[in-house]
């Protein structure tokens, strides 16, 4: 049995659409994920994210919940309705800074009910984000971008 590749090798060639309205957070995540080998497209609004999704057909969506012109649930729904077949299956992670330890279970359940596969409450450790991304890259043929993973 071969050893599973590390996260950096799994991120190489993976296209991520990162949607975050805070410019500092967006820049940090973009820099980090790019350094880890991912190809990152960024957007700060639902409108810009939809345009990016059509252009780059990302492998993974990471979105803030609250955006200036909508929310992550609506964004995910619109992306999954795009004509591209890969957009219908896109794994998605939602993050928010609006939850508290008491409300986090409700946010998590809402995220899962809303079509996201993972929920992260800000602030979170970058290892949590990497672990979530790694779950989606285990079964991805990085040249063909074919999904075969449990989500």
Query: Would you state the pLDDT for residue 62?
Result: 97
Note the pLDDT of residue 141.
Answer: 44
Domains and CATH numbers, the chain: 18-137 (3.40.50.2300)
Residues whose CB is less than 8 angstroms from the CB of residue 115 and which lie 6 or more positions away in sequence, other chains included: 73, 76, 77, 80, 92
Q: What is the mean pLDDT of each run of 10 residues along the chain (151 residues)?
A: 56 93 95 93 98 95 95 94 84 78 58 83 85 77 36 25
């Amino acid at each position: 049995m071969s050893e599973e590749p590390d996260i950096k090798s799994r991120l190489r060639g993976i296209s991520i659409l990162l949607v975050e309205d805070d410019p500092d957070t967006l820049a940090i995540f973009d820099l980090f994920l790019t350094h880890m080998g991912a190809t990152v497209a960024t957007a700060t609004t639902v409108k810009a994210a939809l345009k990016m999704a059509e252009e780059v057909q990302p492998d993974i969506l990471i979105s803030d919940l609250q955006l200036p012109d909508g929310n992550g649930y609506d964004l995910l729904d619109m992306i999954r309705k795009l004509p591209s077949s890969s957009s219908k299956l896109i794994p998605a992670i939602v993050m928010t800074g609006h939850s508290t330890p008491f409300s986090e279970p409700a946010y998590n359940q809402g995220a899962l009910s809303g079509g996201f596969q993972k929920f992260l409450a800000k602030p979170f450790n970058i290892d949590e984000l990497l672990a979530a991304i790694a779950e989606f890259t285990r079964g991805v043929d990085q040249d063909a971008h074919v999904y075969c993973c449990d989500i």
